[in-house]
Amino acid sequence: MHPVIPYVVAAALFAFGVYGVLVRRNAVLLLMAVELMLNAVNLILVTAGTVLGQVFALFVIVLAAAEIGVGLAVILQLYRLRRTVTVDDVGKEDGEVPA
């Protein structure tokens, strides 16, 4: 088994995650890109091949689940208040709803 294959895949997934976080305007899509990055890190941890790496990967998966739960609650509340989940509009004044 050549470990460089999963390592390169993980690097590519991480790069797509970074691109998605920077480019996407919809908050839900932003969270999806964060998930891609977390998965890339997990892939590297598992490819390292030790039991310890797998333990860390499991911890990261649980942390990602907690993060997604709180993140989606924030997004839902944001939608309830502003009627939009576009992250560019978050800092705007109340009532200034984009078209």
Question: Is there binding between residue 92 and another protein (CB under 8 A)?
Answer: no
- Does position 80 interact with another protein (CB under 8 A)? The reply is yes
Are the C-beta atoms of 24 and 30 separated by less than 8 Å?
A: yes
CB 89 within 8 A of CB 82: yes
Strand partners, 26: 86
Is residue 62 involved in binding another protein (CB under 8 A)? Answer: yes
Q: For the chain, what's the residue count?
A: 99
Phi/psi at 40 (nearest 5 deg)? -60, -45
The verdict on 11 binding another protein (CB under 8 A) reads yes
Question: Is residue 41 within the footprint of another protein (CB under 8 A)?
Answer: no
Closest approach, Cβ 67 to another protein, in A, equals 8
Q: 12 and 44 in contact (C-beta within 8 Å)?
A: no
Residues that bind another protein (CB under 8 A): 1-26, 28-29, 31-33, 35-36, 39, 42-43, 46-47, 49, 51-52, 54-55, 57-59, 61-70, 72-77, 79-81, 85-86, 88
